[in-house]
Amino acid sequence: MNRRIKNKKNIPRPKRYTIGELVPYWYENYKRNKHSPTTTQVQLVYIKLHIVPQLGSYYLHQLKTIDVQKFINFLSKEGNRSKLKYSSNFGKPLSAWTIKKIRALLLAAMNAAVREGLIEKNPVIDTEAIPVPTIKMGYFTPTQQKEFLDGTQKFRFHIAYQMLFYTGCRRSEILGLSWDHVDFTNAVIHIQQVLVSIDGIPFLKSYPKTKSSVRTIPLHPHLNKILQSHKKKQDQEKKNCLNWNNKNNLVFVNIDGSPHNPTYFLHNFKNAIRKLNLPANLHVHSTRHTFATNLLQLGVAISDIQHLGGWSDTRILLEIYAHSVQNSHRLAIKKLFENNTNKK
């Protein structure tokens, strides 16, 4: 018989493990290698800023469902603990979506504790999850889109903004676009990599968000021409810069060739929204919603929009852009009515 098993003193007892010990250990050894760097960064924020400070001192066998429920309620009231330079959300409620993710992470960690025999029952299971409401996505009206593009013509990011509106790409996809993936002859771009921010530093991932995100998007001739002019301007900047640093041959870079910081790009966009007195609910991702909304209004098939935008599921489009579908329905009913009444 194995001496370690026979010697009860060597058998770890549940009360020796706290939540603050278990959750980081579980994530590091069972989940981290399955996640991308950006997902890992988010998960570690959930653990270090929320779970460990609030529940870390509890021993596994002591944690009750009511303790976890109080934790969830706290997050929904004043749980934001991110002290960001451009944000004043510290001490305010976390979003329902973020709370859902934190609960799911804690649930998975405690399920692992049950499987390991450290506790008999997972106390997270019987908690009431914070409901995530159907998201009403902000989008630019045609007038607002024109105002934004006209008002940002002198911005270094102006062409990148146009690409967002007319390709439906994510911010990370546009900032990660390489000249190697731009085909001027066939007027298309190939989305194969993304630029993200990890600990405030730009990081190029050689794979996009999902498999469906890998795609080819056609460019309007006007946009194709603008990109060609942008390439010539960048080539000139390269000649004038002694320490050019565009090792990944990116389309959109700083004046020294270094990649744009995605976080700065976001704040630059938001500042433009504010200066132009456009609605505060508009942000970078609103360009993607605008792209889909405009195509839906033009009668483009949902499946085509899905492939162009790289959405993994058409249900996402139907839920998020329900307002556009409903408008299309109204237009269809109107046409049907007018078509039949005019025949009388």
Mean pLDDT rounded to a whole number for the chain:
86
Q: What is the pLDDT of residue 135?
A: 58
Using CB atoms within 10 Å of the CB of residue 134, give its burial: 0 to 12 exposed, 13 to 18 middle, 19+ buried.
exposed
- Is it the case that residue 343 has pLDDT exceeding 80? no
Mean pLDDT along residues 247-270? 94
Q: What is the DSSP letter of 255?
A: T
Q: What is the pLDDT of residue 293?
A: 86
- What are the pLDDT digits (tens) for 89-127? 677 888 888 999 999 999 999 999 999 999 999 999 999
Of 109, 193, 117, 148, which Cα lies nearest the Cα of 284? 148
The domain spans of the chain are 13-115, 142-314
User: What tokens were used for 17?
Assistant: 């493990």
Of 171, 309, 271, 158, which Cα lies nearest the Cα of 223? 158
Q: What is the pLDDT of residue 39?
A: 87
Residue 208 pLDDT class (50, 70, 90 cuts): confident
- What are the pLDDT digits (tens) for 46-92? 999 999 999 999 999 899 999 999 999 999 888 777 665 555 667 78
Alpha-carbon distance of 77 to 75, in angstroms, equals 6
Mean pLDDT along residues 158-174? 95
Q: How wide is the angle at C-alpha 187 spanned by C-alphas 185 and 192, nearest 5°?
A: 105
Decide which of 14 and 73 is more confident.
73
* Full DSSP string of 142-195: HHHHHHHHHHTTTSTTHHHHHHHHHH---HHHHHT-BGGGEETTTTEEEE--EE
Q: What is the pLDDT of residue 4?
A: 42
Residue 201 pLDDT class (50, 70, 90 cuts): confident
Give the H or E element holding residue 201: strand 201-205
Of 58, 82, 81, 61, which Cα lies nearest the Cα of 70? 58
**pTM for this structure?**
0.73
Name 250's bridge partners.
Answer: 178
Residue 130 pLDDT class (50, 70, 90 cuts): confident
Q: How wide is the angle at C-alpha 105 spanned by C-alphas 102 and 108, nearest 5°?
A: 150
Alpha-carbon distance of 19 to 10, in angstroms, equals 21
* Radius of gyration of the chain, Cα coordinates, nearest whole angstrom: 25
Q: What is the second-level CATH architecture of the domain 13-115?
A: Orthogonal Bundle (1.10)
Q: What is the second-level CATH architecture of the domain 142-314?
A: Orthogonal Bundle (1.10)
- Is it the case that residue 13 has pLDDT exceeding 60? no
Most confident of 36-45, 201-210, 221-230, 323-332: 221-230
Q: What is the pLDDT of residue 322?
A: 61
- Is it the case that residue 301 has pLDDT exceeding 90? no
Residue 131 · residue 96 · CB < 8 Å? yes
Residue 8 pLDDT class (50, 70, 90 cuts): very low
Mean pLDDT along residues 174-182? 96
Q: What is the pLDDT of residue 87?
A: 57
| 299 Cβ contact list (under 8 Å, min separation 6) | 328
Q: What is the pLDDT of residue 2?
A: 42
Q: What is the pLDDT of residue 14?
A: 44
Decide which of 210 and 306 is more confident.
306
- In the three-class reduction of DSSP (H, G, I as helix; E, B as strand; rest coil), residue 203 is classed as strand
Q: What is the pLDDT of residue 186?
A: 95
User: What tokens were used for 204?
Assistant: 């190029």
Q: What is the pLDDT of residue 331?
A: 67
Q: Which range (35-39, 78-82, 312-316) has the least confidence? A: 312-316
Residue 198 · residue 221 · CB < 8 Å? no
User: What tokens were used for 277?
Assistant: 């007195």
- What are the pLDDT digits (tens) for 225-250? 999 999 999 999 999 999 999 999 99
